[in-house]
Structure formats: structure tokens, C-alpha cells
Amino acid sequence: MLTTRRTLLQASLALPAAGLLPRVAAAADPFKVGFIYVAPIGDAGWTFQHDLGRKALEASLGAAVKTTFVENVPEEGADAERVIRKLATEGHSLIYTTSFGFMEPTLKVAAKFPKVKFAHCTGYKRAANVSTYSARFYEGRYLTGLIAGRMTKSNVIGYVAAFPIPEVVQGINAVLLAARTVNPNVTIKVVFVSSWFDPGKERAAADTLISQGADVIMHHTDSSAVVQGGEEKGVWSFGYDSDMLRYGPKTNLTSVTMHWDDYYIDQTKAAMAGSWKSDDTWGGLKTGMVKLGPLNAAVPESVRAEVTAATAKIEAGTLLPFAGPIKDQAGAVKVAAGKSLSDGEILGMNWFAEGVQGKLG
């Protein structure tokens, strides 16, 4: 069940020999589902949440499915394509590729295996046998922005970000817009560390932001280093991807968490029943794909009530995080009052809202 790239390599070396063995095919062969992960599963973070989804799938469908995962597959180079093709040739009927950088390799392999179904996470290119899926992370970010706006004393929020891409920019803008609804003086300082996973750099960036006056820090990277840094310096923090409370029992206010369980179960069931269709899924608070982790005891009752109310409104569709009026950093109106950004505009977001201090591109 556990397949790493190393054991895959060994397996491919052993293939010629395996071909000589008599094949024991049974009618009750389980439905094989493959998962490609960009990072080690670890204990928290993006890949960890996807693996929770895989486990939920196994628990839900039992012996009817057999899942395989390959972790730590690099986005660069030819590795991803090779690993995806390997899973396809091994008889996996449905393959989830769980990182943006797997987009082209997934499409390439999918074109050669029309009967195999693929689902690519956070991408925008589809094909007859390639679906895409992602979550409205920014809805969770909006809720953390409300809390941050109430908790900050210095009115400076520090944000450790990986790369200036729309998915990251959405989160930063959502936090700022939410925070300003409860505290108009809030500004956000952004530091890009140019890596999804480098605990040392993430921590150094957090320390820098704290030294420049941030008293609430959050991150869009994959380790828990920022939350740990907040705990050590006594500064409020928010986690991302997974619940990170144990890294900051005193100062971690909550985490924005991702949940792929239902999506994996529904899609796999559809593929088994033959009703699977290529489409795009973008879930949020309403579908439970994005949730807020448990709130720290330090969050006051009044703020909890605000968060609960905002959650209900976002789920009902009456509160849109990117509703106007919104100005960009130069003061130009990006979204007029009474209007709101379309999904397409949100997916392509490449500007910072007024109050964000940082530069894109």
C-alpha cells in the first residue's frame, strides 16, 4: 500500500520478471485509486490533509477500493509524468494529482490513457477524462481576518507567503478586507519566502515580521514553523491546511483547514458506478471542504459570535468576501460598491487590496 518513489523504482526493475508470472485475475478485483503527493505526508499541512481524504475513502468503501499513494513527487522535471504513467499502467482507474505543478504531466498522461480518469487539484485545464477540483481557501481566510482584526493591538498583521500567485493573493486580500470591517486601521505586511516548504526561512520571515511590529502572524506555506515562532515570541498566530494548535497552545488562535474526504468518496463512487464526468469542483465553507479549526480559549466570546455569524452568511451566500467597494494599492477602484468579483476574477487575482504592504511581480 505504501509506495514511495524508491519502491516504485524497484518495482519497475522487477517488472520483466513479474510479467512472466501467471496473472491471477479475479472478477472481484478492487477498484484501484491512485494519489500523487508533492510533499512527504508528514504530520500537518497540504499533503497530510489529502492523505486524510484517502484514508477516509478507504474507510468508507472498504474492500471495494484499493488506494495507492506516491509521496514527495517533485513538480519540476520528468518525475511527475513518469510516476503518473506508472500508476496508470498499473491498472489504477482513477488518479488524483494533488498539486498545481502536476497539471501538464496529468494532461499528458491522460491523453494516452483515455479510459483512466484523472482529477487534478488547483489546476484550470480540463479534458474529457481530467477533472479539476479546489477549495475556496479564501472563505476560511476571511474568518481569520475577522479574528485578527479584533485581536491585533499594533494593527499590523504579518503574512509569510510562498509565491505571488492568485491562490496566495486571494488569501491575503481576504484577510485584509475582513480585518478592516472590524478594525479600519489594520495593515498587512507580506514577506515572500519563495518556497512552499523551508521551515528555516519561514521562521526567519516570521521573526522579521514580528521585529517590525506585527502582533498577529499567519502563513501560506507548508510547515508549522510560523506558528511555532509566534508561540516563542508570544505573538498571535493562525495555522493553515491542518489544525496547528499543538504547535502554539497559548498563541495559535485557530487554523484554516482543508477537507477532501467527501470529494474523494463521491468522485470515486461515481467512477465505480460509471457516472463520472469531467467537471470542475470548487468547494468552500458550505460544502465543508474548508473549515475553521477549533478556536483558542483566548478568543473572546463576542468575537466567536462574529465568526459564527459570518460563517452562516458566507454559507448562505449573503456575505461575499470580495464584494465591493474594494480599492487596490494605488487607490484605484477594483470592485465597485454593490458588485462582487466573479469566480474567474478571483481565480486570476493579481493585485493587492489597499492596506496590503508588499509587491507582486
Partner 1 sequence: MHELEIAVAILVATLRAATPLVLAGFGELIAERSGVLNLGVEGMMLMGASVGFIGTVATGSPIIGLLLAMLAGAALAMVFGVLTLSLMANQVATGLALTIFGVGFSALVGVKWIGIPLEGIATDIWPSLSSSSPIVQQLMLLDPIVWLAVLVPFLIHRFIYRTRAGLVLRAVGESHDVAHALGYSVLKIRYLAVAFGGAMSGLAGAYLSLAYTPMWSENMVAGRGWIALALVVFSTWKPAWLALGSLLFGFVTIAQFQAEALGLALSPHLLAMLPYLATIVVLVLISRDATRLKLNAPAALGRPFHATA
Instruction: Output the nine-digit C-alpha cell for 180.
Output: 478592516
Determine if 259 is a binding residue for partner 1 (CB under 8 A): no
Report in angstroms the alpha-carbon separations of 321 from 26, 47, 318, 338: 52, 26, 10, 13
Q: State which of residues 88, 110, 157, 205 lies at the interface with partner 1 (CB under 8 A).
A: 205
Instruction: Output the nine-digit C-alpha cell for 40.
Output: 512527504
Determine if 198 is a binding residue for partner 1 (CB under 8 A): yes
Burial of 25 (0-12, 13-18, 19+ CB in 10 A): exposed
Binding region for partner 1 (CB under 8 A) out of 123-131, 146-154, 204-212, 330-338: 204-212
The span from the CA of 316 to the CA of 283, in Å, is 13
Complex with partner 1: residue 185 or 194, whichever CB lies closer: 194
Q: State which of residues 54, 120, 203, 259 lies at the interface with partner 1 (CB under 8 A).
A: 203
- For the CB of residue 345, give the shortest distance to partner 1 in the complex, in Å: 22
Look at strands 130-135 and 187-192 and give their pairing: unpaired
Binding region for partner 1 (CB under 8 A) out of 23-31, 193-201, 282-290, 320-328: 193-201
Instruction: Output the nine-digit C-alpha cell for 20.
Output: 512472466
Q: State which of residues 182, 204, 270, 272 lies at the interface with partner 1 (CB under 8 A).
A: 204
Handedness of CA 211, 215, 220, 225 (dihedral sign): positive
Complex with partner 1: residue 36 or 193, whichever CB lies closer: 193
- For the CB of residue 68, give the shortest distance to partner 1 in the complex, in Å: 18
Determine if 212 is a binding residue for partner 1 (CB under 8 A): yes
Q: State which of residues 148, 186, 190, 299 lies at the interface with partner 1 (CB under 8 A).
A: 190
Complex with partner 1: residue 159 or 322, whichever CB lies closer: 159
Complex with partner 1: residue 169 or 310, whichever CB lies closer: 169
Residues binding partner 1: number (CB under 8 A): 42
Buried-exposed string 222-261: b where 16+ CB fall within 10 A, e elsewhere: bbbbbbbbbbebebbbbbbbbbbbebbeebbbbbbbbbbb
Smallest CA-to-CA distance from 133 within 56, 40, 50 is with 50
Instruction: Output the nine-digit C-alpha cell for 135.
Output: 477549495
Q: State which of residues 3, 93, 131, 228 lies at the interface with partner 1 (CB under 8 A).
A: 228
Q: Pick out residues in 28-87 that bind partner 1 (CB under 8 A).
A: 40, 42-44, 72
Provide the H-helix boundaries in the chain. Answer: 5-20, 46-61, 79-89, 103-112, 137-151, 166-182, 199-211, 225-233, 261-273, 301-316, 343-347
Complex with partner 1: residue 225 or 253, whichever CB lies closer: 225
Determine if 279 is a binding residue for partner 1 (CB under 8 A): no
Complex with partner 1: residue 80 or 289, whichever CB lies closer: 80
Alpha carbon 338 to its chain centroid, in Å, reads 29
Report in angstroms the alpha-carbon separations of 147 from 35, 234, 311, 357: 35, 17, 12, 20
Binding region for partner 1 (CB under 8 A) out of 139-147, 209-217, 285-293, 318-326: 209-217
Determine if 223 is a binding residue for partner 1 (CB under 8 A): yes
Determine if 209 is a binding residue for partner 1 (CB under 8 A): yes
Q: State which of residues 189, 219, 259, 291 lies at the interface with partner 1 (CB under 8 A).
A: 189
Cα end-to-end distance, the chain, whole Å? 42
The span from the CA of 11 to the CA of 27, in Å, is 24
Contacts of 122 (CB under 8 A, 6+ apart): 99, 100, 132, 134, 167
Complex with partner 1: residue 41 or 341, whichever CB lies closer: 41
Determine if 158 is a binding residue for partner 1 (CB under 8 A): yes
Binding site for partner 1 (CB under 8 A): 6, 40, 42-44, 72, 158, 164, 189-195, 197-205, 207-209, 211-212, 214, 223-225, 228, 232, 246-247, 357-361
